Amino acid sequence: MEKKVNGHTADYIKRLAKSIKKVQNISHHEALELASKQSGFHSWKHFQNLLNNSDIPSLDYQTTDATKLDLRPKNPYRNLLVAGLNEILKQNKDFFQVEKDKKETGYIFVELFGYQSVVIWREISFGEISLAVWWKYDHSKHPQANLTGNARENFRDTSPLANKTEYKKFVGVVLHGWVERATGKYIQGSGGASIIRDYVRRGEKAELEKLPAVQPNGFQAEGLFFV
């Protein structure tokens, strides 16, 4: 059995560090340091010393609230939207430019926090964008993936074209919010407000809460919500 300190194994901290490195674009060493602190240790070396010394009792040290705030997202669902919008901007740097005769709409398959996902966007009015993320999406298990006509999944709506009772078979989280472009560059609302959770599979919220906070790339994660 793999050795643990305070319930954490080396493999767990390394996996967490890999996710932090990808999201924050930092070195492997820096990511290991952050992952170790997020797990309740002073540093990666501190964890290794405790792991290698079986005479040392279980760790009492806890990270400070300030440290947790730096590493954990304010709201896990908004964090997922930020990650999705970042991926759109990687492919379309002009996404925030509102053009009168051009309606922004589309979808992309991307990897978010190590899992295949779909990000969907559609301009609704005044340059405002409806933004949806389907996290942990497995197209091969979608019951309407290979149908024909209007019954086939087309990624034009905020939710999959399937009975919601089927969602658990092919997707972990389905949510959407709104992106403002005309008066600013931000995802509307604050915290969990103004985010519609169409579906969250059992256990997925807890997993999202463990993920590192994503830094918005050229926009704000929160802002005024327009009714």
pLDDT band at 1 (very low <50, low <70, confident <90, very high): low
The residue-averaged pLDDT of 112-126 equals 93
Q: What pLDDT sits at residue 5?
A: 77
Which domain, by its residues, includes 92?
Answer: 76-209
Q: What pLDDT sits at residue 109?
A: 97
Is position 130 within any domain?
yes
Q: What is the pLDDT of residues 68-106, one digit of tens each?
A: 434 567 899 999 999 999 999 999 989 998 887 778 899
Tokens, residue 119: 């990000």
Tokens, residue 209: 């809460």
CB atoms under 10 Å from CB of 76, counted, come to 20
**38 and 115 share a domain?**
no
Q: Which of 69, 88, 106 is the last residue of a domain?
A: 69
**Is this prediction's pTM over 0.75?**
no
Residue located via tokens 């290698």: 52
Tokens, residue 87: 């991926």
Question: Is-contact 31 17, C-beta < 8 A?
Answer: yes
Based on the structure, what is the number of domains in the chain? 2
**54 and 154 share a domain?**
no
With 0-12 / 13-18 / 19 or more C-beta atoms within 10 angstroms meaning exposed / middle / buried, residue 92 is middle
Is position 219 within any domain?
no
Q: Give Cα 88 distance to the centre of its chain.
A: 13
Which residues make beta-bridge pairs with 200? 173
DSSP codes of every residue in 105-166: EEEEEEEETTEEEEEEEEEEETTEEEEEEEES--GGG-TTSS--GGGS--S-SSS-SS-GGG
Tell me whether strands 115-125 and 128-135 are parallel, antiparallel or unpaired. antiparallel
